[in-house]
Amino acid sequence: MKIVYDSVQKTFHLQNKNISYVMKIIKDGYLVNVYFGKKINKYNESNSIAYYDRGFSPNPDPLDRTFSLDTIPSEYPAYGNGDFRVPAFQVEQKNGSRVTDLRYKSHNIYDGKKKLQGLPSTYVEDEAEAKTLEIVMEDKLIGLTVTLMYTIYIDFDVIARSVSLKNNGEEELNITRAMSASIDYRESNFELITLYGAHINEKNIARRKLVPGIQMVESCRGASSPEQAPFLALVRSDTSEDSGEVYSFNFVYSGNFTAQVQVDQFSNTRVIMGINPSDFSWLLQKGEEFQTPEVIMTYSSDGLNGMSRTYHKLYSTRLCRGTFRDKERPILINNWEATYFDFNADKIKEIAKSGKELGLELFVLDDGWFGTRDDDQSSLGDWIVDKNKLPNGLDDLVNDITNLGMQFGIWFEPEMISEDSDLYRNHPDWALHVPNRMCTVGRSQLVLDLSRKEVCDYIIDAVSNILSNSKITYVKWDMNRHMTDIWSEASEPKRQKETAHRYILGLYYILEALTTKFKHVLFEGCSSGGGRFDAGMIYYMPQTWTSDNSDAVCRLKIQYGTSLVYPPITMGAHVSTVPNHQVGRITPLETRAHVAMSGNFGYELNLMNISQEEKEMMKEQIALYKKIRHIIQFGDFYRILSPFDTNEAAWNFVSNDKTEFVGMYFKILSEPGSSIRTLKFKGLNPDCYYENLETKKVFGGDELMNVGITVNIVVKDFISKLWRFKKTSRME
């Protein structure tokens, strides 16, 4: 891994063993991107920019009609000085002008990677793991400096990018757009992959050919949202799961975002990603600096599985932090779908006791334990135990359950406030609202104004009061509505457009404080399921409830789509009852378990209502997951068959040393006359012999990958099969 500045060519070359990223300073200090892709040893301008007069493209130098910012592959394009494509940033000046002109000023290359103040970001544990390049660009007229930051890792094929804008001038500047990354490709022969969805239908995969103009995904919901994920990939038409080029972009941020791909009039492609400029601005007083969140760009020539393995490894080892990063996660039982709001201490203890008998490790008390919360109409904000439900208090319940030998976890929705709550009665101004306007409620609740420090500190105290001196070791952190009525009582009018971003900074401040204070607590993020399942949250919370949809068939797609970017260890996945509460489907318990075992495993059903036979099956499932979870949670994940393309799904998990693997196959609807399927596993050691732990038969890794294994026909809907293989020296 190295970053080389060639002072003759004026090029920056970031390189590790697989990828290269090259920029060049041209003409009077403009910075352009000249290459991103498979590693090259030395860049020597074989693809030099061809300049010629393009008629309608304006020229900064009146004597040179061949040079226009409208046609060059800019690295961080400005608005208003000749480039008519979508700009990477825009800054409003005191005289009303929005035009800027950035030129190269200086650069700095160093080992390691800096922390981004107040923001989640990938990190290094040793400076030798990465190198960082900072390029300072300057608009001399207004005293604006823009520092472009690039980190390349030795072991991950990514470029981590972010930008900081500083006002070194005399007059205040108003940032109205500040992308975290921008790149121009001198071609448009790509297809675009994005992730879209809705509540209980998260992370569907969309793939389409690029067309001229802008295609974009965004959120203006105040959270990264289930509607569109802050992710996009450009691929070739023949790119598959295992071969072909992928350029991808993922935002390490949990709020409003935009990700745009623009194919311009000359068939160049620009990609930008950053905070959504719609309803955003940020005032920079003299001397102040604004730091954007980070974008993780990857390049893979091994298709989408290659891209995913890069994200999985980076995120699980250098984005996720804390005690639980490298720890096997407990198998939990959650009472939400078992009881909803209708529980008392006895009911909870019965479920926990039965769970313990089955081998479950963690009991999670979901919504309804505080205030007078018998439905979703009240009490958010009043984090005080409801003595009607738990007459002996929370500690008594926690003690009873931990005495069983189980861990205890609890649900909060700290960012919200119910109008029917003491918190609201005492602090109505703490909710986001516009004076004299009616507030929009969502799930009968309002959103707390996390742009205010006193509100953040209240949340830290309220959650700390419950967690301090208690044996609680897990928190489910929920967030069940999106932001409206965005206005803050604490901000001056010209700063109101900062509120949505300040909210996210407030959220990160809270999470930093709580996860630092309660290092022994495992935090699981949730936003009505996967409504805020993003890289920003992974920095604070090592796992996320993937979807409120717990139906095994729907989950195949949801988990397949989520796995494009996020590793299985981050995906909360539970076995629930049938008929399923979200879609009414009846699927076999075995299939439900195999789907849930493909992530961070748990149960969410009333154990008092299940048969002895089912209990025996669950016992076996739990014992099995304990044997394979090190492979599922820390191994490599390979998608094999897509539920988006077929009536099937399949994937396999391979341990890091490739001595063990787990394969899974799912058939959704039974099909008459279908051929016998062989399934080819992926990522095995071709020179290793693996024993099928069920049949004891031994096969070479090469045979299992190239010939495949027979999947027997079962004449039923919704079937699944799980294989376990282990390295052996025996070969028959």
Site residues, ligand DGJ (CB under 6 A): 336, 366-367, 411, 478, 480, 526, 528-529, 545, 548
| Residue 70 among the catalytic residues | no
**Minimal CA–CA distance to 329: which of 473, 537, 125?**
473
Give least dist CB 582 to ligand DGJ, A: 11
Nearer to ligand DGJ, 281 or 528 (CB): 528
Q: From the CA atom positions of the chain, what is the Rg in Å?
A: 27
| C-alpha torsion angle, residues 308, 314, 315, 320 (rounded to 10) | 160
Using DSSP bridges, classify how beta strands 228-235 and 246-252 pair: parallel, antiparallel or unpaired: antiparallel
Nearer to ligand DGJ, 202 or 590 (CB): 202
Nearer to ligand DGJ, 84 or 341 (CB): 341
User: Whole-angstrom Cα distance, residue 565 to residue 289?
Assistant: 31
Nearer to ligand DGJ, 529 or 561 (CB): 529
Contact 529, 312 (CB under 8 A): no
Nearer to ligand DGJ, 30 or 411 (CB): 411
Nearer to ligand DGJ, 180 or 480 (CB): 480
* CA distances, 77 to each of 126, 180, 495 (Å): 33, 12, 25
| Catalytic residue selected from 478, 534, 551, 636 | 478
**Minimal CA–CA distance to 181: which of 62, 272, 83, 298?**
272
* 3-state helix vs strand vs coil in the chain, percent to 5: 20, 35, 45
Give least dist CB 201 to ligand DGJ, A: 13
* CA distances, 559 to each of 260, 538, 637 (Å): 25, 16, 12
DSSP classification of residue 331: P
Nearer to ligand DGJ, 295 or 332 (CB): 332
| Catalytic residue selected from 184, 366, 449, 548 | 548
Give least dist CB 254 to ligand DGJ, A: 16
Give least dist CB 162 to ligand DGJ, A: 31
Contact 305, 652 (CB under 8 A): no
User: b/e string for 314-350 if b means 16 or more Cβ within 10 A?
Assistant: bbbbbbbbbebeeeebbbbbbbbbbbeeebebebbee
**Minimal CA–CA distance to 130: which of 148, 108, 114?**
114
Nearer to ligand DGJ, 529 or 635 (CB): 529
**Minimal CA–CA distance to 686: which of 663, 705, 707, 661?**
705
* CA distances, 730 to each of 26, 357, 705 (Å): 62, 37, 19
| Residue 551 among the catalytic residues | no
Give least dist CB 375 to ligand DGJ, A: 10
Give least dist CB 444 to ligand DGJ, A: 11
**Minimal CA–CA distance to 605: which of 636, 637, 575, 562?**
575
Give least dist CB 223 to ligand DGJ, A: 13
User: Whole-angstrom Cα distance, residue 2 to residue 554?
Assistant: 44
Give the chain's length: 732
Nearer to ligand DGJ, 262 or 379 (CB): 379
User: Whole-angstrom Cα distance, residue 321 to residue 319?
Assistant: 6
Cis peptide before 579 (omega within 30 of 0): yes
Q: Exposed/middle/buried for 411, CB within 10 Å: 0-12, 13-18, 19+? A: buried
Phi, psi of 246 (to 5 degrees): -140, 130
Give the CB-side neighbour count of residue 549, counting CA atoms within 13 A: 22
Give least dist CB 101 to ligand DGJ, A: 48
Contact 39, 21 (CB under 8 A): no
Give least dist CB 668 to ligand DGJ, A: 24
- Nearest residue to ligand DGJ by CB is 367
Which residues participate in catalysis according to the annotation? 478, 548
